[in-house]
Structure 1
């Protein structure tokens, strides 16, 4: 009998979770913590924009993959590690994710939280790099312009300036004065939920990244990204 009760409990819990996909429950939570190790991107895809099509390896360097968190954080846990360098100008380094299961063209009240690991305290870096994150009904893309520059297709703004497609933004300054160790910054709009409307396919796209005019290498880790929705 004990096994039967355990099975009933499991089925009931699974039923509550699946309610996020239908009309029985108007709440949806998307929680990405990247804890599956290598290959544990949770559907997030990296991208880069702002660099010239003619940039070579002496000017441009990019690496994106899940990795164990660095010293200063829990080194047994994983995050999404983003390395970037563009010596000729501004570059936007980001990750994006498509979320489905919403009702087409239906409005939702949303809160978003992004945990970013940083080690930068020197103003030479901090003053030239801005964290930005947003949500859109269309896919965030890197597109090649006629000028030969790969540009971001959403309005993120330039440098420290914030565009209309940015929901969360802020400084990447570490609170740890020892730059050998990372600290975790949390960006959230929990106090001010916003209304978003899913597209005709019942989808929303998320992105989070760093807008950098720093000409040398920067490395950041996305530790966790959580979006919560309530159907209106």
Structure 2
């Protein structure tokens, strides 16, 4: 009888401990990408402009050295072009293939980039998203004009590229709340990080780092 009572007390104490600690921690995976070591499987692209504008927009999505006065020996993922359409979207995408199949995850993004945008009106909106379908641009007709648009939702805004002082500087933005996404039958999703410009000018950023935490629901 005393033995049974002792076991019951121990079990109660253990349960109380688990409750006080919030129970077992939900499994999570953290992905960290530093573009000073190359593209690491991220692929760039662009959309949201008339097809016949592209030859004059000087759009580039590629690994480049950071501009002065930042460390010019360090590379980053450059996204930029002339925004003649008032709606240029430049992005990078990455296929993640090692999550659990058919599971729901909460994704939190942290994006660090170089920017020289000093005014809210000329800033680029930074967006993050995830999808089971590979993000690509497609051609649709708008006002009898061939137009590049995305085949997936671009995600949610995590902030913009504006800053308070002149010159190129690094800025870090984080998700205000997690993005929920379910993997496909192979445990895959596509990550999407992009910059959306509504200002007719040369719009550009250099992404230095992307971190994504994927926590099981």
TM superposition score normalised by structure 1: 0.73
**Could you tell me the TM-score, scaled by structure 2's length?**
0.78
Per-residue CA distance 1:107-138 (angstroms, 9 max, x = gap): 22332111121111135513xx3121111222
Which residue, 78, 101, 104 being the options, matches 1:104?
101
Distance 1:66 1:197 in 2: 30
Q: Distance in 2 between matches of 1:72 and 1:196?
A: 39
User: Unpaired runs of 5+ in structure 2?
Assistant: 1-25
RMSD after superposition: 2.1
Give the count of matched residue pairs.
Answer: 189
1:1-232 alignment to 2 at 5 Å?
26-36=27-37, 40-55=38-53, 57-58=55-56, 60-126=57-123, 129-147=124-142, 148-156=146-154, 165-166=155-156, 168-175=157-164, 177-178=165-166, 181-189=167-175, 192-232=177-217
Which has more radius of gyration?
Answer: 2
SS at match of 1:54: helix
Deviation (angstroms), 1:207: 1.1
Runs of 4+ aligned residues of structure 1 deviating over 6 Å after TM superposition are none
- The CA deviation string for residues 9-51 of structure 1, in whole angstroms up to 9 with x for no partner, is xxxxxxxxxxxxxxxx943221111122xxx111111111111
Give the deviation of 1:221 after TM superposition. 0.4
